[in-house]
Structure 1
Amino acid sequence: MAQLCHSLLFLLLLSAFCITGATGRASHPSSRARAFVVEQCQATRYPELCVQCLSNHANASAQSQQQLAQYALAMSLARACYTRAYVTKVAAQLKQTKAKEYQAVKDCLDQINDSVGQLSQSINELQRINHDGEGNFLWHTSNVQMWLSTVLTEAMTCIDGFSGHAVGGKVRATIKAKVLNVAHMTSNALALFNRFVAIHRATRSKAQP
């Protein structure tokens, strides 16, 4: 899992501006490709964040809902890995001196570790859709939807877990912001995945006699 996170360094660089409320502009994708990304992102809960994060991928997306969903999942995983590294560092600093604060951060870290695994599984599962045939489509899609929904739940569990704990205000705010960013990106990835699933089903339905 750590090796996978290391391999996502390039995506981390691309996603550095993918934070809620960011105003940074992406590079210059073709107008047609960017229009495709903007259109797809309208199905998400955080469309501005979606466009900010995915515009750099617009030229390579080939206007494919599946590829865009795949990339959105990879970006979410990259941010989750980045967040895990930060929370791991904080936990190590607190472990020897502040037991109560450490436990709150450790509980959050456990949630993030689970999220990294579930996002990784989701990426692999989406890739298998192309190889296992139409008969397993429902199985793969339901797995991805379940795992991504769990990531969202775990993010909120992490944030709620700081209530009543005297973790330093700046540290607590930073962790919450990073975890919330992962949740927003994952929410967008789930929406894009659901859009791909809906379009795929509609296309298959029309193709049937």
Structure 2
Amino acid sequence: MGKSNIYLLLLIYLIAIAEASKLTVPRHSRIRAFVETQCQTTRYPKLCVHCLSSYVNSTTQSPQQLAHVALRVSLARANYARAYLIKVAKEMRQSKAKEYQAMKDCLDQINDGVHQLTRSVKELQRIEIEDEYGFVWHQSNVQSWTSAALTDALTCMDGFSGYSRGGKTRAIVKAKVLNVAQVTSNALALFGRYVTKHHSSHSIKPQP
């Protein structure tokens, strides 16, 4: 093959790459822009964008879908924290550490949080098949259960306030539980944004 043909093929290849980038980059930018816009109403917007961007694609671009993704992320983080707490609580019990009771109480709170978030995820899946009055019922359940999960995480952290010791393990536990609290707070805000948008496009208004 002559040099001119090689250069021609190389030029065609480079043009193809350039055209492909024109198609993919804007779409990716639109997806991220959607997530950033929705996350603006959360208490931790940077964390919100970081956690949700990788789970959102071109078919997941509605406030309801994003709220559902956010709740699933919260549930995943709560399960992750619970697994670590189970391990630590077992080790503390065997060593008869003074912090064991606080760790056990925290584990109980996170267990309840996992339960509440699981209910919220399932409830949000049902919300679209109901009439408007049914929507209000499911909306109230999701908000109540997600709020309870947030309270559980915060209560867990408060339980360690009286302990000045605990070192690295206690710091890791608090960091994991804090993350659960933050992503759950974001999920609650995103769900609230979805609810507001829904009610603004329907005749019935949310009950006080």
TM-score, structure 1 normalization: 0.81
**Match runs of 1:131-146 below 5 Å:** 131-146=129-144
**Match runs of 1:148-187 below 5 Å:** 148-165=146-163, 168-187=166-185
SS of aligned partner of 1:205:
coil
Please give the alpha-carbon distance, in whole angstroms, between the structure 2 residues aligned to 1:60 and 1:157.
38
Aligned residues: 180
| 1:53-104 residue CA offsets vs partner (Å, 9 max, x unmatched) | 1111231453200000000000010000000000000000011222532111
Please give the alpha-carbon distance, in whole angstroms, between the structure 2 residues aligned to 1:29 and 1:82.
32
Q: How far apart are residue 185 of structure 1 and its match?
A: 0.1
Q: Paired residue for 2:94, among 96, 112, 123?
A: 96
Please give the alpha-carbon distance, in whole angstroms, between the structure 2 residues aligned to 1:29 and 1:148.
32
Please give the alpha-carbon distance, in whole angstroms, between the structure 2 residues aligned to 1:139 and 1:88.
35
Which residue pairs with 2:126 in the alignment? Answer: 128
Which residue pairs with 2:201 in the alignment? Answer: 203
Which residue pairs with 2:62 in the alignment? Answer: 64
Q: One-letter code of the match for 1:203?
A: S
Q: How far apart are residue 166 of structure 1 and its match?
A: 5.7
Following TM superposition, where does structure 1 have runs of at least 4 consecutive aligned residues deviating by more than 3 angstroms?
A: none
Distance change >3 Å, CA 29–CA 56, structure 1 → 2: farther
Which residue pairs with 2:191 in the alignment? Answer: 193
Q: One-letter code of the match for 1:67?
A: Q
Distance change >3 Å, CA 131–CA 106, structure 1 → 2: same
Which residue pairs with 2:34 in the alignment? Answer: 36
Please give the alpha-carbon distance, in whole angstroms, between the structure 2 residues aligned to 1:153 and 1:124.
20
Bigger-Rg structure (1/2): 2
Please give the alpha-carbon distance, in whole angstroms, between the structure 2 residues aligned to 1:31 and 1:122.
30
Please give the alpha-carbon distance, in whole angstroms, between the structure 1 residues aligned to 2:27 and 2:149.
30
Which ranges in structure 1 are unaligned for 5 or more consecutive residues? 1-27
SS of aligned partner of 1:162:
coil
Which ranges in structure 2 are unaligned for 5 or more consecutive residues? 1-25
SS of aligned partner of 1:62:
coil
Q: How far apart are residue 204 of structure 1 and its match?
A: 1.0
Of 119-128 and 51-60, deviating more is 51-60
Please give the alpha-carbon distance, in whole angstroms, between the structure 2 residues aligned to 1:205 and 1:169.
55
Distance change >3 Å, CA 61–CA 100, structure 1 → 2: farther
TM-score, structure 2 normalization: 0.81
